[in-house]
Structure 1
Amino acid sequence: MAFLITTPKLSCKIKDTTGIECPGCGIQRSFELLINGHFVESFKMYPALLPLLFTLGILAYHTFRGNLKTLAILKYSFIISVAIMLISYILKFI
């Protein structure tokens, strides 16, 4: 029997109000899949999760030991994360 970690889910106020998913919808389920070892399913659920986690890791590192190199990495990883998020959001509706 596998040990599965489950988290309480927060509802999306934008989806509740408008009925349309926001660009962040699916990130909670994707994170849960990721921590339970389902990497492919996590990527399919929310492709921007891994780049966002990388960006947060670089941000944490830059906060304590930052220099111009980590600042450049942070800038480009943020741009890539947002681009992946927007592209996957647009592709949901096609």
Structure 2
Amino acid sequence: MAKPLTKTQLVSALADKMESDKKSATAALDALTAVITDEVSKGGAVTLPGVGKIYCRERPSRMVRNPATGEQIKKDADKVVKMTIAKALKDSVND
């Protein structure tokens, strides 16, 4: 498995694709991240065409087990961020 791109590598690749400088690419990436964070934290969802959908899902309270002691503990309801991958991306990986 290949190593994931670092932010610096991603900014560099984005700048190349945009035919722009790294400062503009960094600003675009930071703005995209801020928009996604704001929308998902409010309970909404963001669809990135060709990539997938990022959304927040609520998990109900449940009983969990402490692996060290085996003790059953009640875990309160919480929220978790999920991502559904777009079919186009899945298909491109399997070609």
Alignment TM-score, normalising by the size of structure 2: 0.27
Alignment TM-score, normalising by the size of structure 1: 0.27
Name the one with the larger strand percent: 2
- Which protein has greater RCO, CA pairs closer than 8 Å, 6+ apart? 1
Name the one with the larger helix percent: 1
